[in-house]
Amino acid sequence: MAKVLTYEDGIAAVYGGAILGGGGGGLLEEGLKLVEEIFAAGEPQLVDITELDHEDLVACVAMVGAPSAADQYISNEQLCWSYRSMNTYTNQRLKGIITNENGAITTINGWLQSVLLNVPVVDAPCNGRAHPTGIMGSLNLHEQQDYQSVLFYAGGKDDFAVQGYVEGHLQNTAKTARQASILAGGLVGVTRNSVTIDYLQKHGAPKAISMAIELGYSFLKGQTFDEKLANVLHQLNGVHIVSGEVTDYSLTKENGFDVGKLSVGDYHLTFWNEYMTLSKEGQLPSKFPDLIMTFDTEKMLPVPSASIKEGMHVAVIHVDQSHLTLSSTMQNQALLQEIDEVIKGVL
């Protein structure tokens, strides 16, 4: 039976999602704004994956683009168009929506469509943390022989507005969506890659939305920053690495991604939307898909890589991947190898 989500669940999902975003997954303020829009329209539904039949179909909805893009825009009509188009393509066989990952915005991807289309969100995102590439959120479908990726995308306004459909190898459809996001001003909403519940159970991250909501409530329960951080570390079995002033911060946009680095004390972080590495004196104690996350200690908020400023005072935490709910893609060495190629340019 589907659970009706509350406004408070939405706020908690954004904060918990922001932390599990690991530097990506959207901006906190945009997630909170989306919560207001969602619950002004109605109440979304969340259903456990065990409530559906093994052969039922679900499709993933996601936002694709660079978090720092200034001209990003997606309308409700564009979001619904992509889902309706996919449902038509599958002969009306879709039984629910899944999101691609956890993040300030991405955890609640699909909640608005749930309200507008009266379709449940399934508590099994493609990944329990945020990741940079579309292929990392595609459940290792690119390794399934004969699987044909189908993706509908829409976004942008006025002269930037685009919408379309692409079918082909999953790597190519993911790259097409990324290119469309650039043409749309920085962001497109997509509905893609229908899968069975049986496949999702094996390759996705069941209960990861509930995990984000619970984490958000734990964070918000703290009265001081120290309490908030302690609650997060307890919930995630994480470690506080360092607190201090941000130095040597740089961010560039490359092919629709935010790529850069920063330092806090003796520690150095790199990011490719999400934080990729944490190092000290040439040693690399943490690397994606471990969770590396920053918090603004003055505002007492989780802060993603795109919102970091030189001189900001932050706390850095680390959570080993063994304590996260992750997709099978997070153990795919061919996908993870791409990180080294991107990050070596900023080291």
Domain assignment present for residue 223? The answer is no
* 264 and 312 assigned to the same domain: yes
Side-chain-facing half-sphere of 261: CA atoms under 13 Å: 15
**CATH code of the domain in which 72 resides:** 3.40.1610.10
Domain assignment present for residue 191? The answer is yes
In the chain, beta strands by DSSP E: 3-4, 45-47, 57-65, 94-99, 121-122, 149-155, 162-168, 187-196, 239-254, 257-264, 267-272, 274-280, 283-287, 291-296, 301-303, 313-319
* 112 and 246 assigned to the same domain: no
Residue 63's domain spans which residues? 3-208
Domain assignment present for residue 228? The answer is no
* 204 and 247 assigned to the same domain: no
Cα–Cα nearest to 305, from 336, 259, 345: 259
- What's at 155, amino acid-wise? G
> Rounded to whole angstroms, what are the CA distances from 269 to 62, 86, 194, 287, 298?
26, 39, 35, 10, 20
Estimate the crossing angle of helix 28-41 against helix 7-20, to 10 degrees: 150
* 202 and 253 assigned to the same domain: no
Question: What pLDDT is stored for residue 71 in this prediction?
Answer: 83
- What's at 124, amino acid-wise? A
Cα–Cα nearest to 132, from 4, 284, 305, 313: 305
Last residue of a domain, one of 167, 189, 208: 208
Cα–Cα nearest to 38, from 113, 95, 106: 113
Domain assignment present for residue 90? The answer is yes
> Which residues, 6+ apart, have CB-to-CB distance to 75 below 8 Å?
157
Question: What pLDDT is stored for residue 228 in this prediction?
Answer: 98
Q: What span, in angstroms and rounded, lies between the C-alpha atoms of 226 and 23?
A: 20
Question: What pLDDT is stored for residue 69 in this prediction?
Answer: 72
* 107 and 196 assigned to the same domain: yes
Domain assignment present for residue 58? The answer is yes
Domain assignment present for residue 225? The answer is no
* 193 and 322 assigned to the same domain: no
* 22 and 164 assigned to the same domain: yes
> Which residues, 6+ apart, have CB-to-CB distance to 7 below 8 Å?
35, 39
C-beta of residue 329 within 8 angstroms of C-beta of residue 127: yes
* 194 and 277 assigned to the same domain: no
Question: What pLDDT is stored for residue 345 in this prediction?
Answer: 66
Q: What span, in angstroms and rounded, lies between the C-alpha atoms of 257 and 345?
A: 14
Domain assignment present for residue 260? The answer is yes
Question: What pLDDT is stored for residue 66 in this prediction?
Answer: 65
Rama region for 237: left / alpha / beta (φ>0; ψ in -120 to 50; rest): left
Q: How far is the first Cα of the chain from the last one, in angstroms, to the nearest whole number?
A: 49
* 41 and 166 assigned to the same domain: yes
Domain assignment present for residue 292? The answer is yes
Number of domains in the chain: 2
C-beta of residue 238 within 8 angstroms of C-beta of residue 319: yes
Last residue of a domain, one of 187, 208, 229: 208
* 152 and 289 assigned to the same domain: no
Give the torsion through C-alpha atoms of 53, 325, 129, 341, to 10 deg. Answer: -110
* 202 and 259 assigned to the same domain: no
**CATH code of the domain in which 279 resides:** 2.40.390
Q: Two tokens at 194?
A: 């229908």
In the chain, which residues have pLDDT < 70? Answer: 66-68, 256, 345-347
Q: Is 4 helix (H, G, I), strand (E, B) or coil?
A: strand
DSSP letter at 329? G
* 250 and 111 assigned to the same domain: no
